[in-house]
Amino acid sequence: AFLATTGALALAVAGFSAQPAAAQDRPVIRMSTPASDTDQRSVALATVFGPAIAEFADYQPHYNASLIAQGSELETIATGDLEMSIASAQELANFFPEFSIFATGYVHQSADHQVRVFNDPLMDPFKQKVEDELGVKLLAVMYLGKRHVNLRFPRSERDVMTPADLAGVNLRMPGSDAWMFLGRAIGANPTPMAFTEIYTALQTGSVDGQDNPLPTVVDAKFYEVTKQVSLTAHLVDLNYIAFSKELWDSLPAEQQATVQKAAEDAAEAGRQAQIAKEEELVAFLTEQGLDVYEPDLAAFRSHVQEQYVGSEFAASWPEGVLDQINALGD
Ligand code: KDO
């Protein structure tokens, strides 16, 4: 704490004496997310991204959807009222349906696969379109984790081994077409709902369950109001660090490079932290009394893939891209 204070003071003094006017020009980078401040993506951005750009900009995170409602962040960046978010492929698919390829069950295989896909030239036209048509730059890919089915029922009541076992289960999903499709594809009856409403909905029984990676199940305390996790891994989920193109264009090249590197470094730190949590949390959840078990993954995978073939989403995927993604697999 002593060092941090001294550092901040030194910066403030240097900034004040050298360029008194600069303080007014410092951009404030408001970042809005439905995630909490203890979510690993939030932690990585606050501890890696923020400090890395602190010389010329102020990183100002807003958690728990307190600034912008979940799903409205991208349009808010587009209209100039927000500078940054961690956007899902599903949200991007609302504007550009072809992004649904990155929101499709069992396409991404791992955190590393996500990075290879994001850095591959196959992403260039996707990134370019978002920049040109939405005014949003996608700087890096963050790892959210493997989404699993997490239910209020004990396993003795509902043993989720195949998609057929989810028939009639009211599964909360985030509210967009791509998410609803995924919920149906795994065999459930999806109910759209904002992230911040899940805990109460599980507690009161207005939904039977939700799907999220284990670190989220723990961070949001869903384990307090659920009894089981079937490790379906139906989506190796991601978020893109989304940044205002207008703000980006206003920065000198050197600062752009710093922002870009800060985003990549934060994504890497968050990825490693999230992977570590995924590995350790099965034990924690079991201690909390939840049944955490592996279903028939082949049954889930083949059922989900069959649902996408010939779907309206698949029709929007540029030719050859799915093969290119698969070729970058593990
Ligand atoms: C969720 O609403 O279930 C979800 O996991 C969707 C993600 O795209 C992401 O927005 C996430 O919530 C939030 O960041 C909260 O963790």
161 Cα–ligand 1 center, Å:
25
Query: Ligand 1 atom 12: the closest Cα is on which residue?
Result: 195
Ligand 1 surroundings by CB, under 6 angstroms: 33-35, 39, 88, 144, 174, 195, 212, 216, 239
Query: Ligand 1 atom 16: the closest Cα is on which residue?
Result: 35
| Predicted ipTM of the assembly | 0.98
Whether 282 contacts 55, CB under 8 Å: no
Q: What is the pTM of this model?
A: 0.92
114 Cα–ligand 1 center, Å:
17
106 Cα–ligand 1 center, Å:
18
Query: Ligand 1 atom 6: the closest Cα is on which residue?
Result: 174
Query: Ligand 1 atom 7: the closest Cα is on which residue?
Result: 88
How far apart are the C-alpha atoms of 138 and 277, rounded to whole Å?
25
194 Cα–ligand 1 center, Å:
9
pLDDT 10s digits, 306-326: 999 999 999 999 999 999 999
How far apart are the C-alpha atoms of 105 and 1, rounded to whole Å?
44
324: left (phi over 0), alpha (psi -120 to 50) or beta: alpha
- What rounded mean pLDDT belongs to the chain? 94
Q: Is the pLDDT of residue 124 over 50?
A: yes
Query: Ligand 1 atom 14: the closest Cα is on which residue?
Result: 35
Q: Could you identify the atom of ligand 1 that is nearest to the CA of residue 220? A: 16
pLDDT 10s digits, 220-238: 999 999 999 999 999 999 9
34 Cα–ligand 1 center, Å:
7
Give residue 25's pLDDT band: very low, low, confident or very high (50, 70, 90).
confident
* R_g of the chain computed on alpha carbons: 21
